[in-house]
């Protein structure tokens, strides 16, 4: 039995005129970018910019996606030859466009040789990464955890691909981290250096002379696609099924440090900013947007909300999120010329208010141990250095401890077991943030901080069992 027709090159002609199509000959494009971690975020962000650059005339920047673990995205995208619809939604805008930049998806665990060959291919010039914070395999000090950085990690594929490039006399690559880490380029460079020192010491000098690791700030709110999204989009797509579709907001921002090892798409001609110093953008985004997101997630779940737009419509949480952004995070950021942090906070609240996106608080609550150091703890440390405390973030930490105690169901976090034990101890704050803490941070709580966090731990049935 054949199922409903899928979106594919053969069915594109059936789409109504309201759906935008790739404006270039897809088959004529060589793969110029290998992307690790081809989830919904990449499809709504870097692939969207690259598609726009090719529609504007750039050539040979097709993207080969790599899934490091799950075969799911390959199952969704390969039968569609990499095509998918990107739907932008808010109260007023509803635009849908088919993105053609992705050539296909490899599953690293199934086909490691093809992944290494793609990194080593002469036409490949850039490797981009959205492997999430935990994909970097860092320990609590921010160094590479050599146990975690195994055969299945991104480092192995980069190192073996680069070794072949050197052997073949090819140029190095631009290795572009697009994850929500502060100084993500430097972090990748540092960790790559530690991996090479252990596994390929002879390659390190060539790699650092030939490759660059620019830092980037990436921003677009992209909820995980649900079956309901897929069903709703079929109506726009002439009843074609699109397993790989993504729903996002109209807003998008990409700020990239101008440090490429070789050619790049003209992403700046289609809205990206190429700048000398990414740090002010990156810090504002991590500490304000992502910081407020995590606050809304843990405090919102504690108050019975499900989605971001519900949490931010709760007047107490809205005030708390604004307090975090304006009074706690913004004073720690030296704004770039033209960057207005007050206007940024207002614009972020308006984006969180988007009721056309069902952005689950539980999605944001995942992996807190990997996210909170750059979202909250760095802000706390900077304020503490000036003798200032951060009541909004401390309330968030209290709600996070409640989350770790199981108040919102199973905790999705690579350190879940250790965190749950610490959170259930008599002194959870010291266990989590004290000298033997589980998280990398220069923040040390004072007695007042501890008291505030403890008072914010929601007193619910599962507390302290």
- Rule CB under 6 A: say whether 219 interacts with ligand CS2: yes
Site string for ligand CS2, 92-131 (x = CB under 6 A): ----------------------------------------
CA distance 157 to 179: 18
Burial of 112: CB neighbours in 10 Å, binned 0-12, 13-18, 19+: middle
For the segment 173-192, give every residue that binds ligand CS2 (CB under 6 A): 180
Taking CB under 6 A as the criterion, the residue among 67, 76, 216, 290 binding ligand CS2 is: 290
Cβ nearer to ligand CS2, comparing 219 with 310: 219
- Rule CB under 6 A: say whether 405 interacts with ligand CS2: no
Handedness of CA 323, 304, 434, 411 (dihedral sign): negative
Cβ nearer to ligand CS2, comparing 106 with 296: 296
Closest CB to ligand CS2: residue number: 293
Other Cβ atoms less than 10 A from the Cβ of 98: the count is 20
Cβ nearer to ligand CS2, comparing 249 with 449: 249
Candidates 94-102, 166-174, 215-223, 234-242: pick the segment binding ligand CS2 (CB under 6 A): 215-223
CB of 363 to ligand CS2, least distance (A): 5
CB of 349 to ligand CS2, least distance (A): 14
Cβ nearer to ligand CS2, comparing 133 with 160: 133
- The answer to whether 223 and 249 are in contact (CB under 8 A) is no
CB of 121 to ligand CS2, least distance (A): 30
Cβ nearer to ligand CS2, comparing 15 with 176: 176
CB of 86 to ligand CS2, least distance (A): 15
CB of 160 to ligand CS2, least distance (A): 30
Size of the site for ligand CS2 (CB under 6 A): 9
Cβ nearer to ligand CS2, comparing 320 with 450: 320
- Rule CB under 6 A: say whether 221 interacts with ligand CS2: yes
Candidates 86-94, 265-273, 363-371, 430-438: pick the segment binding ligand CS2 (CB under 6 A): 363-371
Other Cβ atoms less than 10 A from the Cβ of 293: the count is 25
- Rule CB under 6 A: say whether 293 interacts with ligand CS2: yes
CB of 248 to ligand CS2, least distance (A): 10
Candidates 110-118, 198-206, 216-224, 404-412: pick the segment binding ligand CS2 (CB under 6 A): 216-224
CB of 400 to ligand CS2, least distance (A): 13
Burial of 420: CB neighbours in 10 Å, binned 0-12, 13-18, 19+: middle
- The tokens for 25 are 């000959």
- Rule CB under 6 A: say whether 399 interacts with ligand CS2: no
- The tokens for 423 are 């959170």
CB of 286 to ligand CS2, least distance (A): 8
Candidates 46-54, 91-99, 143-151, 218-226: pick the segment binding ligand CS2 (CB under 6 A): 218-226
Taking CB under 6 A as the criterion, the residue among 87, 261, 348, 364 binding ligand CS2 is: 364
CB of 280 to ligand CS2, least distance (A): 16
Residue that has been written with the tokens 């909820």 in this structure? 223
CB of 297 to ligand CS2, least distance (A): 7
Candidates 198-206, 219-227, 239-247, 380-388: pick the segment binding ligand CS2 (CB under 6 A): 219-227
CB of 272 to ligand CS2, least distance (A): 14
CA distance 215 to 175: 9
| Strand-pair partners of 216 | 256
Nearest Cα neighbor of 76 from 180, 224, 221, 218 is 224
- Rule CB under 6 A: say whether 216 interacts with ligand CS2: no
Cβ nearer to ligand CS2, comparing 119 with 312: 312
- The tokens for 107 are 């599953």
Residues that bind ligand CS2 (CB under 6 A): 180, 219-221, 290, 293, 363-364, 371
């Amino acid at each position: 039995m054949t199922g409903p027709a899928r979106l594919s090159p053969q069915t594109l002609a059936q789409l109504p005129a309201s759906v935008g199509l790739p404006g270039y000959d897809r088959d004529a494009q060589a793969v110029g970018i290998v992307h690790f971690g081809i989830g919904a975020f990449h499809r709504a962000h870097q692939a969207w910019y690259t598609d726009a650059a090719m529609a504007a005339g750039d050539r040979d920047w097709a993207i080969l996606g790599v899934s490091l673990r799950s075969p799911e995205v390959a199952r969704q995208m390969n039968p569609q030859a990499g095509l998918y619809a990107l739907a932008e939604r808010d109260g007023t805008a509803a635009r849908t466009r088919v993105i053609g930049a992705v050539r296909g998806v490899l599953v690293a665990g199934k086909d490691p040789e093809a992944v290494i060959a793609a990194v080593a291919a002469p036409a490949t010039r850039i490797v981009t990464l959205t492997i999430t914070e935990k994909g970097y395999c860092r320990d609590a000090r921010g160094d590479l955890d050599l146990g975690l950085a195994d055969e299945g990690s991104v480092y192995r594929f980069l190192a073996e691909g680069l070794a072949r490039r050197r052997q073949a006399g090819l140029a190095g690559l631009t290795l572009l981290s697009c994850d929500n880490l502060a100084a993500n380029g430097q972090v990748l460079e540092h960790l790559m250096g530690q991996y090479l020192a252990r596994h390929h010491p002879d390659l390190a000098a060539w790699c650092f002379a030939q490759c660059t690791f620019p830092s980037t700030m990436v921003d677009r709110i992209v909820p995980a696609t649900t079956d309901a999204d897929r069903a709703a989009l079929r109506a726009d797509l002439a009843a074609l099924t699109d397993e790989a579709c993504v729903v996002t907001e109209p807003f998008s921002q990409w700020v990239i440090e101008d440090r490429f090892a070789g050619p790049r798409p003209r992403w700046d001609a289609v809205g990206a900013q190429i700048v000398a110093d990414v740090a002010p953008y990156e810090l504002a985004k991590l500490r304000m947007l992502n910081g407020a997101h995590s606050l809304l997630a843990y405090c919102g779940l504690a108050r019975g909300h499900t989605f971001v737009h519900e949490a931010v419509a709760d007047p107490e949480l809205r005030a708390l999120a604004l307090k975090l952004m304006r009074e706690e995070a913004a004073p720690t950021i030296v704004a770039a010329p033209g960057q207005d942090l007050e206007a940024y906070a207002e614009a972020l609240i308006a984006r969180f208010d988007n009721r056309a996106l069902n952005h689950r608080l539980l999605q944001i609550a995942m992996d807190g141990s990997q996210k909170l150091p750059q979202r909250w703890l760095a802000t706390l440390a900077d304020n503490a250095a000036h003798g200032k405390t951060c009541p909004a973030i401390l309330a968030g930490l209290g709600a996070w401890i409640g989350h770790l105690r199981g108040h919102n169901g199973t905790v999705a976090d690579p350190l879940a077991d250790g965190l749950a034990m610490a959170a259930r101890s008599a002194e959870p704050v010291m266990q989590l943030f004290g000298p033997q803490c589980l998280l990398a941070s220069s923040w040390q709580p004072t007695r007042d901080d501890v008291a505030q966090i403890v008072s914010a731990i929601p007193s619910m049935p599962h507390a302290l069992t």
